[in-house]
Amino acid sequence: MTYSIDLKERVVAFVREGGSKAEATRRYKVSRKAVYNWLEAESLEPKKQGRRKRKLDWAALQRDIDDHPDKMLRERAEAFGVAVNAIWYAAHQMKNSNKKNIQIRRTRS
């Protein structure tokens, strides 16, 4: 749950003006850990969360897909040292299709 910046500022001001941390948790109905975190934080603004660190380098995978579009998922998985599902998931998240787009012409009989 994200608390408003206004609430965070009021809690921090209350504690810095001499109020106890325990009283601040009861009065403003926030957790004790949140009060400690807000007192130690440089800024009370919400932090932008980025993509977590993964074993698979998505930039290298994108280059490999661009350079070798005909490779199979299992070949890419062996090259990168990950499971096939990891390659599929990353390609899906990057909006890269694995389809070969071969046009098959059908003749009328």
Q: Is residue 102 part of a domain?
A: no
Q: Is residue 49 part of a domain?
A: no
For 10-46, b where at least 16 C-beta lie within 10 A, e where not — what string?
ebbebbeeeeeeeebbeeeebeeebbeebeeeeebee
The neighbour count for residue 82, using CB atoms within 10 Å, is 17
Q: Give the chain's domain count.
A: 2
Residues 36 and 63 in one domain: no
Q: Is residue 53 part of a domain?
A: no
Q: Is residue 87 part of a domain?
A: yes
* C-alpha span between 32 and 25 (Å, rounded): 6
pLDDT computed for residue 78 by the predictor: 94
All residue ranges of the chain with pLDDT < 50 are: none
Tell which residue, 58, 88, 60, 57, has the closest CA to residue 72. Answer: 88
Q: Which domain holds residue 26?
A: 5-40
Q: Is residue 74 part of a domain?
A: yes
